[in-house]
Amino acid sequence: MSQDDPKTLVSTGWLAQHLKDPDLRILDASWYLPDAGRDPRAEYDAAHIPGARFFDMDDISDQRSDLPHMAPPVEKFMSRLRAMGVGDGHQVVVYDGAGLFSAARVWWLFRLMGQDNIAVLDGGLPKWQAEGREVEDMPPVVRDRHMTVRRQNSLVKDVTQVSAASKLQDTEIIDARSAARFRGDAPEPREGLRAGHIPGSKNVHYASLLNDDGTMKDPDALRRVFEDAGVDLSKPAITTCGSGVTAAILSLAMERMGKTDHALYDGSWSEWGMFPGLPIETGPVATGDT
């Protein structure tokens, strides 16, 4: 697979070359954990890639749920994107201010909604700015555009499905959190959650899939990371993390590798760790501590 694939990942050079394309739409999907002390909307207002719209992941979510930024209802997704001027026939490129972090979640969300003409900007805004490329502080001119949505339910799993996969061991459950959180040695950033991991799951910390400059490793290197963590890539996969954000980095990596039988556990540890009736494992495991 080439570096530039408008359905998964594109380089800063590719985006610069296509920046003036009439059917290109760029989304700034920056989002940070509360302890990062960063305001993504304020950063967007100060400087963004020319023409970028701000995608508010917490707003474009299912706010009926007590869990953070769960996938929104189809109607809400359609209306929000239409108001942003993003719709049918557009090639979308999504980036974030961390390099490659929350943008993957929005890539997965578009895929969930049946939109596959979307790619993540490899290295994100930090790489774009490090290369001295143009940014602006002006809001884009937006014209409504209809979007046809066909939700792909196979790309998302709920707690019941994940519990069944954990018991049957017929699917690899892959956790993107740090090894310390996976083992239960470090406290969860969200109050009230137990520490540990879903029984039988494997640990692939999302950062292990990235190069030092925040870009994603090549497909062969990605495959080695998963295999070194004890993941059987011949099985279907479910990705999980703290709240369904970095799990999408694992999903994007598998898609880059050509593995398409993967889904994301949207509730992730925010849900599993909350309910005392769900089993957990702690401590080191034979494989998977990356």
- Cβ–Cβ under 8 Å, residues 203 and 175: yes
Total count of domains within the chain? 2
Whole-number percent of the chain with pLDDT over 70: 97
With a cut of 50, list the residues of the chain below it in pLDDT: 1, 286-290
For residue 4, being part of any structural domain is answered with no
Alpha helices in 19-119 (DSSP H): 40-46, 74-83, 103-112
pLDDT digits (tens, 9 = 90+) for 106-149: 999 999 999 999 999 999 999 999 999 999 999 999 998 999 99
Report the CATH number that the domain containing residue 94 is assigned in CATH. 3.40.250.10
What pLDDT digit, counting tens, does each position of 10-41 carry? 999 999 999 999 999 999 999 998 788 999 99
32 and 131 fall within a common domain? yes
Confidence at residue 285, expressed as pLDDT on a 0 to 100 scale: 60
Query: Does residue 88 sit in the same domain as residue 204?
Result: no
Looking at residue 283, its pLDDT comes to: 84
Mean pLDDT of the chain: 95
For residues 179 and 144, membership in a common domain is answered with no
Q: How many CB atoms lie within 10 A of CB 183?
A: 20
Same domain? For 231 and 145 the reply is: no
Q: Can you tell me the distance from the alpha carbon of 231 to that of 46, in angstroms, rounded to the nearest whole number? A: 42
- pTM for the structure as a whole: 0.95
Is the domain of 136 the same as that of 195?
no
Catalytic residues: 241
pLDDT computed for residue 287 by the predictor:
46
Contact 194, 269 (CB under 8 A): no
Residue 138 and residue 159 share a domain: no
Could you give the CA distance from residue 279 to residue 77 in angstroms, rounded to a whole number? 33
Structural domain of residue 170, as residue ranges? 154-272
279 within a domain of the structure (yes/no): no
